[in-house]
């Protein structure tokens, strides 16, 4: 058995290496590649991803899994070996249903589409991106079709990012959450609005960069195994636990944009850096799912970074960096300002109370695109109408509307729901963390994050992909994904800020 197991591990390591190489090509494209390089990059990405697909779907991998799987019953079900075989089986049996030619065509298409999206977004011209998105939707439908029969055509796409979750489960969670969030937003809108005008001034980009970098260093991000760059849309990417890279974008006229993006992406980066070393170059390495990943980024961004204890520590330093802008703004006013609830057209700049409505809109559109009830050509109008319905605002142009997110240009249909799920899970974890670390607010106020990082490393990060998301949440909190803690948090926080 040991010889066969080692052979399987060797093949899976090759697969991981190829996937990480494809990620490196993607990072370079978004950060440094010359604008005219997309054609060549599309072929390179397609070749690498085709080779990765052929590696994990090979007859040799299938035969090894067939021989090793019966032995799992003899093992500790939570052991790395048992979980490795289980996750590899799941990955193998899903990917063997997808032709390598289709994998390559998707990779080639999205590599070309990305730069077109960048240009279309800059020009606020959806028509320029429309034919590429139409082809991406067609390819994702073809991909989903490989998994028939299914309960819903969207299920295989959601499962790529949230293993084991079904469309109906997410819709049920969102259906229960939406009216509660709408009710909260209405209650807030009836109260006097807090002032946040001081956040919209000239903030020196280099000082913003340095201050954000200082804070994520304090959080525990390891610069020996990471870096920070700029991109059109902030993201985190890794090529193994020893090379985890963050990106951000800096707005010289708005403080929140870069700073909270830094904290958010740092949360993702800490998760990847915290995966157990023994899982490296296996299919168990990295985050359990994108919702669990998002729970970590939203924890550091919002539950830590938008909290009053956090700013009791960091606000005096921020005032020193920007005395003209913030010198006469009190801590209380600053705290209220960064937590202002106001419908915004931009998802990544949305406040905590309205953010999930952005996600629900996108989920409904994606489902409509997949089941054929919506057409790509109509998306700008559909988007604007639903933004007006859900948030009472209408985007001024495509750049601030349907073109604002990078995800569709990368073929990542099925991704968006994980953001809202991550918000929910972050507070479930947070309640448990505060039970286990009762003086956590005092530690945050002192700028001490070691015990918090140690807790998430021990309970979440080190496990990698050993446990499916619902299983991991239940292991940590005692229940599956539950929106009740999240709504308690929102009502308490914004009740205090707005006097509800």
> What CATH number does the domain containing 253 carry?
1.10.1370.30
* Same structural domain, 107 and 203: no
Q: What is the pLDDT of residue 58?
A: 96
pLDDT tens for 469-496 read 999 999 999 999 999 999 999 999 999 9
Domain contains 149: no
Q: What is the pLDDT of residue 138?
A: 97
Q: How many CB atoms lie within 10 A of CB 243?
A: 17
* Same structural domain, 99 and 178: no
Q: Is the pLDDT of residue 210 over 90?
A: yes
Q: Binning pLDDT at 50, 70 and 90, where does residue 1 land?
A: confident
Residues 120-130, mean pLDDT to the nearest whole number: 97
Domain contains 19: yes
Q: What DSSP designation does 322 have?
A: -
Domain contains 293: yes
Q: What is the pLDDT of residue 233?
A: 81
Q: Binning pLDDT at 50, 70 and 90, where does residue 279 land?
A: very high
CA distance 170 to 153: 14
Domain contains 161: no
pLDDT tens for 225-266 read 999 999 888 999 999 999 999 999 999 999 999 999 999 999
Q: What DSSP designation does 465 have?
A: T
Domain contains 485: yes
Residues 159-169, mean pLDDT to the nearest whole number: 93
438 φ, ψ (degrees, to nearest 5): -60, -30
* Same structural domain, 374 and 310: yes
* Same structural domain, 372 and 434: yes
Q: Is the pLDDT of residue 285 over 90?
A: yes
3 state SS of 53: helix
pLDDT tens for 35-75 read 899 889 989 999 999 999 999 999 999 999 999 999 998 99
Residue pair 219/266 in contact (Cβ under 8 Å)? The answer is: yes
* Same structural domain, 204 and 278: yes
Domain boundary among 125, 157, 175: 125
pLDDT tens for 305-323 read 999 999 999 999 999 999 9
Residue pair 253/201 in contact (Cβ under 8 Å)? The answer is: yes
Region of residue 124 (phi > 0: left; psi between -120 and 50: alpha; otherwise: beta): left
Q: How many residues does the chain have?
A: 500
Residue pair 31/230 in contact (Cβ under 8 Å)? The answer is: yes
Q: What is the pLDDT of residue 38?
A: 87
Kind and range of the H or E run holding 111? helix 100-123
Q: What is the pLDDT of residue 371?
A: 95
Domain contains 16: yes
CA distance 234 to 240: 19
Which of 30-34, 371-375, 450-454 has the lowest average pLDDT? 30-34
Kind and range of the H or E run holding 236? strand 236-238
Residue pair 402/408 in contact (Cβ under 8 Å)? The answer is: no
Q: Is the pLDDT of residue 349 over 90?
A: no
> For helices 80-95 and 59-68, what crossing angle results, to 10°?
140
Active-site residue set: 265
Query: By residue range, what is the domain housing residue 245?
Result: 167-498
CA distance 57 to 54: 5
Q: What DSSP designation does 196 have?
A: -
Domain contains 351: yes
* Same structural domain, 268 and 333: yes
Average pLDDT, the chain: 95
Q: Is the pLDDT of residue 14 over 90?
A: yes
Count: domains in the chain: 2
Residue pair 71/2 in contact (Cβ under 8 Å)? The answer is: no
Q: What is the pLDDT of residue 295?
A: 97
* Same structural domain, 201 and 294: yes
Domain boundary among 105, 125, 145: 125
Q: How many CB atoms lie within 10 A of CB 479?
A: 12
Q: What DSSP designation does 224 have?
A: G
Residue pair 300/262 in contact (Cβ under 8 Å)? The answer is: no
pTM: 0.91
* Same structural domain, 260 and 384: yes
* Same structural domain, 232 and 350: yes
Question: What share of the chain in percent tops pLDDT 90?
Answer: 94
Using only C-alpha atoms, the chain has a radius of gyration, in whole angstroms, of 22
3 state SS of 246: strand
* Same structural domain, 368 and 475: yes
151 φ, ψ (degrees, to nearest 5): -70, -35
* Same structural domain, 172 and 104: no
Residues 219-227, mean pLDDT to the nearest whole number: 98
* Same structural domain, 87 and 35: yes
Domain contains 209: yes
């Amino acid at each position: 058995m040991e010889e066969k197991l080692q052979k399987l591990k060797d093949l899976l390591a090759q697969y991981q290496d190829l996937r990480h190489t494809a990620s490196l090509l993607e990072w370079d494209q978004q950060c440094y590649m010359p604008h005219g390089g997309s054609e060549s990059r599309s072929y390179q990405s397609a070749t690498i991803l085709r080779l990765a697909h052929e590696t994990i779907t090979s007859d040799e991998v299938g035969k090894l899994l067939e021989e090793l799987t019966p032995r799992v019953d003899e093992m500790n079900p939570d052991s790395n070996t048992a979980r490795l075989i289980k996750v590899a089986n799941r990955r193998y049996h899903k990917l063997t249903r997808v032709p390598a030619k289709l994998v390559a065509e998707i990779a080639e298409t999205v590599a070309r589409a990305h730069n077109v999206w960048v240009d279309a977004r800059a020009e606020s011209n959806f028509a320029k991106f429309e034919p590429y998105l139409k082809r991406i939707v067609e390819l994702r439908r073809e991909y989903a079709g490989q998994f028939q029969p299914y309960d819903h055509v969207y299920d295989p796409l959601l499962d790529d990012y949230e293993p084991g979750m079904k469309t109906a489960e997410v819709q049920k969670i969102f259906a229960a959450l939406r009216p509660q969030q709408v009710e909260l937003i209405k209650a807030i809108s009836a109260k006097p609005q807090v002032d946040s005008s001081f956040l919209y001034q000239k903030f020196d980009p280099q000082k913003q960069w340095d201050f954000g970098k200082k804070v994520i260093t304090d959080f525990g991000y390891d610069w020996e195994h990471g870096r920070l760059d700029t991109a059109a849309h902030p993201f985190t990417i890794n090529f193994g636990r020893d090379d985890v890279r963050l990106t951000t974008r800096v707005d010289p006229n708005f403080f929140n944009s870069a700073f909270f993006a830094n904290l958010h992406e740092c949360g993702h980066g800490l998760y990847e850096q915290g995966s157990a070393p023994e899982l490296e170059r296996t299919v168990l390495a990295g985050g359990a799912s994108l919702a669990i990943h998002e729970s970590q980024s939203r924890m550091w961004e919002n539950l830590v970074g938008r909290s009053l204890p956090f700013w009791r520590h960091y606000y005096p330093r921020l005032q020193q960096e920007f005395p003209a802008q913030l010198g006469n703004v009190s801590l209380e006013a600053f705290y209220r300002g960064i937590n202002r609830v106001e419908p915004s057209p931009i998802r990544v700049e949305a406040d905590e109370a309205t953010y999930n409505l952005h996600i629900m809109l996108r989920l409904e559109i994606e489902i409509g695109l997949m089941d054929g009830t919506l057409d790509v050509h109509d998306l700008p109008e559909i988007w604007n109408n639903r933004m007006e319905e859900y948030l009472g605002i209408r985007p001024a142009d495509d750049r601030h509307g349907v073109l604002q997110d990078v995800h569709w240009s990368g073929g990542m249909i099925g991704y968006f729901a994980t953001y809202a799920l991550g918000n929910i899970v972050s507070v479930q974890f947070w309640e448990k963390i505060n039970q286990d670390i009762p003086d956590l607010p005092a530690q945050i106020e002192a700028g001490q994050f070691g015990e918090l990082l140690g807790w998430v490393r021990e309970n979440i990060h080190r496990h990698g992909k050993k446990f499916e998301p619902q299983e991991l949440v239940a292991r940590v909190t005692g229940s599956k994904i539950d929106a009740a803690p999240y709504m308690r948090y929102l009502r308490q926080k914004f009740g205090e800020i707005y006097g509800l």
